[in-house]
Amino acid sequence: MDATTAPHHIPPEMPQYGEANHIFELMQNMLEQLLIHQPKDPIPFMINHLQRDNDNVPRVIILGPPASGKTTIAMWLRKHLNCSLLTVENLIARQHSSLAAGARSQFQKMKAVPRRLLVKLIQERMQEEDCVSQMRKLRSGCVILTN
């Protein structure tokens, strides 16, 4: 709308449509993602963002001291959100991953997995079919539990 053609007559259905279809939140989220990632070509980036359709997916990370109930809470969330549970143990125990094999050897030596390797393991796991299909179909994410 051009400011020189004021006054504007906005039909009352327009804001109602925007509220009913969450247009304002969608636009805010897309603008946030554009400013964060600053892609060279924003149009394909926005199209990809819209096709992912995961703005309302719960993202859960559970932190706490040892024996504080993190695993219990994560298992309860997994059941009620219908999502996958990712732990350091089940990430490094995966047999078909070369990253997991490297992480296992690191874990045996240092009793910990380096952060960068853990991030790569999580990213690899999130690309697998069960996590991807849950995000697309059920609009739920994976619960991530790290020690």
- CATH number, position 85: 3.40.50.300
Residues 30, 93 share a domain: no
Bigger pLDDT: 125 vs 143 = 125
User: Would you say residue 75 has pLDDT above 70?
Assistant: yes
Residues 67, 40 share a domain: no
CB-hemisphere CA count at 13 Å for 39?
14
Number of domains in the chain: 2
Question: For residues 86 and 108, what is the distance between their CA atoms, to the nearest angstrom?
Answer: 19
Which range, of 12-16, 71-75, 78-82, averages the lowest pLDDT? 78-82
Residues 64, 133 share a domain: yes
Strand partners, 111: none
Residues 40, 68 share a domain: no
Range of the domain at 27: 3-52
pLDDT score, position 141: 56
**Model confidence pTM above 0.75:** no
Tokens of 102: 């490297």
pLDDT score, position 40: 94
pLDDT band at 54 (very low <50, low <70, confident <90, very high): low
Q: What is the mean pLDDT of residues 11-35?
A: 87
Question: For residues 117 and 104, what is the distance between their CA atoms, to the nearest angstrom?
Answer: 11
pLDDT band at 9 (very low <50, low <70, confident <90, very high): confident
Residues 20, 80 share a domain: no
pLDDT score, position 44: 92
pLDDT score, position 80: 82
pLDDT band at 42 (very low <50, low <70, confident <90, very high): very high
Mean pLDDT of the chain, nearest integer = 81
Distances (CA, A) of 141 to 15, 80, 111, 117: 30, 12, 28, 21
